Amino acid sequence: MQAPSTDTAAKTAAEPAAGAAATAADSRRSVRTDIQGLRAIAVSLVLVYHLAPHTLTGGFTGVDVFFVISGFLITLHLLERMPAHPRDLGMFWSRRVRRLLPASLLVLAVTLAGSRLVAPETQWENTARQARAAVLYVVNWLLARDAVDYLAAENAPSPVQHFWSLSVEEQFYFVWPVLILVLGALARAMRRRPLPVVLAGLVVLVAASLAYSIHDTATNPPAAYFVTPTRMWELGVGGLLATFTLLRPGRIRPWAATAFAWVGLLAIGWAAATYTGRTPFPGWQAAMPVLGTAAVIAAQPPDSWRRAWLSPGPLLALRPVQWLGDISYSVYLWHWPLIVLVPAATGHALTWTDRGAILAATLLLAWLTKLFVEDRFRAARWGIPLRKPFALAAAAMAVVIGLAGAQLAEVHHRSERAAAVLAKGLAGKDPCFGSRALDHPKSCPDVAYADVVPAPIEAAQDKSDAYDNQANGHDCWAYQPSFPTKQCIFGDATSAKNVVLVGNSHAGQWLPALQQVAADQHLKITTMLASRCALSDVRQQFDTAANATACLTWVHRTTQRVVALHPDLVVMANRISVGAETDGTTSSEQLYLQGYASILRTWRDAGIRTVVLRDTPAPGVSVPDCIAEKKTAYRDCNGTRQAWLPPAPEQQAVQQVHSPLVSFVDLTDHICGPTTCSAVTGGVITYFDATHLTATYARTLAPYLGPILAKALGAG
């Protein structure tokens, strides 16, 4: 996803294989043109959203349309042939395997190869990791975990992350027939008709899933978008509709069908046109496209103008619309890898010409895949004997997992080689290595791309020990939604001199430099760190009010924890990653200033010495990705000091407090030149992502930070 921005990444919609249900209905029924038309509308929404997101900001709701369609057709099929034995389940899953896996595994294999050929090496690991999860139909859970990881959320979008919804559907396909089987057995045990019992069971499930979706969207929206429990109700609405259809067969009156169909289509269109990346989703907001889709399916608008002059049915039945609905599954599978990989291959952002070419290539590849892969493997002969599709699926899945594993092995090998080169560079006393090069800019030559350390593939993982979830046996970070208290010890744990490093991720990036200083001065380093939440007494604009409250509670709790600990020195650093909640009269920056000053006064009054580090320059784009893409032209990744340097309300806060106990330190001159901030400084890649210093570069700042800390400690 995105990664696209966090918003865009979160809304990366995938067609959930609703097309898989095209053959799920009983063979006695013809394909419903209204449902095929809905598929065409849904995939068109997704295509437009991904190709030109600003033109249709809510196009991600196409995925919700597909969920309802799948829930309806699959439930209808299961209830008409209600499973009663394990073999019935096996036959159902066999059909799903033959329908879904051949095309999806083909796209995954081709995408892995394409990624290896054209994508920057910094993205290979993430792509392979997600591809492996996609093969196993758990990539939605992997993306949910990454979405709440502040650093992982900034990853570039992978070309396979759109498989998240296919994973949701496959989990649905696994659970749903078992649920129907159990409810059918319960009905027999109770000597009741099966359909009312199934209906009651589905009502309970849909209500529970909807309640959880509303709660999780309000409290943990990044993960809520991807996880299965928040989406099950959408498929369940389709299931409820199928159950009602069988309980009360027969079509509604033509005039009512026309009204229902148009209202449903308008609801889908309204959501697509008005929803944005900032819309809390799914939650109750998903009801608009979900109920709109259900209305169109329930109406079953006639496909002839003679039967209903104003009906949208004939429009949905047009041959081009039906053709697009027919290939919609493969359209979705192919379009996103092309959107992600074409810019990597061309070296520039998508132009309108590129977008047109991607659209044409998507339709051509989808048509060929439908003709030579989907239809071929869907044939009945591939399902006989019953074990055959499962054996073939397991073999094909193993091949793709093997390809992903090979890519991960190559990444690991390159990382080990890069780490060896880096260790050699760190061991030397080169006066032009890292930040030291800025002391002698004229006498330090440029470094060739091949000699840059850490190598781009390694730089993305060159983070401080604070980012290691296993550091000292436990996590060192307070994450949303609850922001619990987290504390880790580094340096000399037996030292009587305790330095507390406190703040958000831009405090954590200083740990490698502090560890170098601690080794020289025999210091104990205690970290109190949070992800995104700046240590400022101000309410910050998180995705939900609960997260904002939890962040502010962490700020207050941590401030008092420092007072209770009363260390020899506090080192504080923060990045303003979200705005402050303003009243319209005071700027966000001013509120942060006041919040910093409030905390510094608390520590000053407690007699605690504090060093406030100025926030570091931020490129705004992934530096390792840029360097890996530009290679020998990596200097194109540089930026101006004016553009990269953020505001410094912390400096004004120190001035307001005006105490000898509180000092402000600006090391920007050791990160940037007078006018230019470099992606590579002294042969060292400066940032491991779009804003955070690599651990290697941070270590080269230790000679400049050490004397400052020694002076502050000596003064104490």
Boundaries of every domain in the chain: 6-404, 434-715
In this prediction, residue 425 carries a pLDDT of: 61
Q: Predicted confidence band at 85 (pLDDT cuts at 50, 70, 90)?
A: confident
In this prediction, residue 470 carries a pLDDT of: 44
* Residue 26: alpha-carbon gap to chain centroid: 38
Return d(Cα 315, Cα 303) in angstroms, integer: 8
Residue-wise pLDDT for 532-558, tens only, equals 999 999 999 988 888 899 999 999 999
- pTM of the predicted protein model: 0.81
Has residue 28 got a pLDDT over 60? no
Ranking 80-89, 179-188, 556-565, 572-581 by mean pLDDT, the lowest is 80-89
In this prediction, residue 6 carries a pLDDT of: 33
Has residue 685 got a pLDDT over 50? yes
Q: Predicted confidence band at 143 (pLDDT cuts at 50, 70, 90)?
A: very high
Q: For strand 639-640 and strand 569-573, is the pairing parallel, antiparallel, or unpaired? A: unpaired
Give residue 496's identity as a one-letter amino acid code.
A
In this prediction, residue 24 carries a pLDDT of: 37
Return d(Cα 684, Cα 451) in angstroms, integer: 9
Mean pLDDT across the stretch 323-334? 97
Give the dihedral of Cα atoms 184, 185, 189, 192; nearest 10 deg.
10
Residue-wise pLDDT for 212-259, tens only, equals 999 999 888 888 999 999 999 999 999 999 999 998 887 778 888 899
279: DSSP letter: S
Q: Which residues of 187-213 are buried (b: 16+ CB within 10 A; e: fewer)?
A: beeeeeebbebbbebbeebbeebbebb
Return d(Cα 327, Cα 242) in angstroms, integer: 24
* Residue 53: alpha-carbon gap to chain centroid: 17
Residue-wise pLDDT for 559-577, tens only, equals 999 999 999 999 999 999 8
Asked if 705 contacts 667 with a C-beta cutoff of 8 angstroms, the reply is: yes
Return d(Cα 478, Cα 504) in angstroms, integer: 9
Mean pLDDT across the stretch 589-607? 95
Q: Predicted confidence band at 422 (pLDDT cuts at 50, 70, 90)?
A: low
Query: Candidates 3.30.450.20, 3.10.20.30, 3.40.50.1110, 3.40.640.10; correct CATH number of 434-715?
Result: 3.40.50.1110
Residue located via tokens 């919700």: 64
In this prediction, residue 278 carries a pLDDT of: 86
Asked if 595 contacts 539 with a C-beta cutoff of 8 angstroms, the reply is: no
CA atoms within 13 A on the CB side of 320: 3
Residue-wise pLDDT for 349-363, tens only, equals 899 999 999 999 999
Q: Predicted confidence band at 154 (pLDDT cuts at 50, 70, 90)?
A: low
In this prediction, residue 12 carries a pLDDT of: 42
In percent, how much of the chain has pLDDT > 90? 70
Output the average pLDDT for the chain.
89
Q: Predicted confidence band at 473 (pLDDT cuts at 50, 70, 90)?
A: very low
Phi and psi at residue 302, to the nearest 5°:
-65, 145
Q: For strand 639-640 and strand 676-677, is the pairing parallel, antiparallel, or unpaired? A: antiparallel
In this prediction, residue 441 carries a pLDDT of: 85
In this prediction, residue 545 carries a pLDDT of: 87
In this prediction, residue 415 carries a pLDDT of: 73
E strand residue ranges, 411-552 = 477-478, 488-491, 498-503, 524-530
